[in-house]
C-alpha cells in the first residue's frame, strides 16, 4: 500500500465522495493499490479493466470514431474511459489509465507513452500525458502513482 493510495482514500472519506477506475496498461494495479488501504470499501466503487481497444468502447462507451481516428493511446480516450467508469459504477470521481507499457512501440507511440485522466460530475476533466522511461513493470507502477497524484492535486 502506498502513501498516495492511503491519502486518496482518506481524502475521499473526508469529502464523502466515491471513486471508480478504468484501467488499460496498468492491468488492475491501480484498483489493487486502492483496495490495499483499510477502509477503501467506504469510497471505492469498482474498476473496469479494458485492455483490448474494442472493450474500451463496449464496456466504457469510448466513442468508436475516436478510437478509429486516434487509437487507444490518446488523452481524450483517457477522459472518456474515466467518464465511462464513473457512469458504470455510479461514482462521483473516476481515474483512467491508457498507454504503451512496452517494451516496444504500439499504435505509433513509443513505449512509455501514457495518459491518465480524472473526471467528476460538474468539474473539468483533468488529463496528463507522459513519456516514461523504464521497463514494462516500472512504467506500469509509475502510472499508478501518477494517477493517484492527479487525484490528489
Confidence at 1, pLDDT banded by 50, 70, 90 = low
**pLDDT score recorded for residue 147:** 98
Give the rounded distance of the alpha carbon of 48 from its chain centre: 9
With a pLDDT cut of 90, the percent of the chain lying above it is 93
**pLDDT score recorded for residue 83:** 98
Please give the tally of structural domains in the chain.
1
Confidence at 107, pLDDT banded by 50, 70, 90 = confident
Mean pLDDT of 141-149: 98
CATH number where 75 lies = 3.90.950.20
Residue-averaged pLDDT of the chain: 97
For residue 99 the three cell numbers come to 498507454
pLDDT by residue (tens digit) across 111-137? 999 999 999 988 899 999 999 999 999
**pLDDT score recorded for residue 100:** 96
Rounded distance between C-alpha atoms, residue 138 and residue 70, angstroms: 25
State the residue for C-alpha cell 497524484.
Answer: 149
The residue range of the domain holding 59 is 3-152
Which residue in 41, 59, 40 sits closest to 49, CA to CA? 59
Q: Alpha-carbon dihedral of residues 66, 27, 44, 35, nearest 10 degrees?
A: -170
pLDDT by residue (tens digit) across 43-86? 999 999 999 999 999 999 999 999 999 999 999 999 999 999 99
Amino acid at each position: 500500500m502506498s502513501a498516495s493510495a492511503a491519502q486518496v482514500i482518506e481524502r475521499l472519506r473526508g469529502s464523502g465522495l466515491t471513486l471508480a477506475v478504468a484501467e488499460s496498461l496498468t492491468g488492475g494495479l491501480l484498483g489493487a493499490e486502492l483496495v490495499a488501504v483499510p477502509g477503501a470499501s467506504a469510497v471505492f466503487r469498482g474498476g473496469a479493466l479494458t485492455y483490448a481497444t474494442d472493450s474500451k468502447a463496449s464496456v466504457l462507451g469510448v466513442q468508436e470514431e475516436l478510437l478509429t481516428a486516434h487509437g487507444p493511446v490518446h488523452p481524450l480516450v483517457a477522459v472518456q474511459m474515466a467518464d465511462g467508469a464513473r457512469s458504470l459504477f455510479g461514482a462521483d470521481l473516476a481515474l483512467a489509465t491508457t498507454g504503451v507499457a512496452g517494451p516496444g512501440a504500439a499504435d505509433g507511440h513509443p513505449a512509455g507513452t501514457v495518459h491518465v485522466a480524472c473526471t467528476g460530475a460538474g468539474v473539468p476533466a483533468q488529463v496528463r500525458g507522459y513519456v516514461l522511461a523504464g521497463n514494462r513493470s516500472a512504467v506500469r507502477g509509475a502510472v499508478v502513482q501518477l494517477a493517484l497524484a492527479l487525484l490528489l492535486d
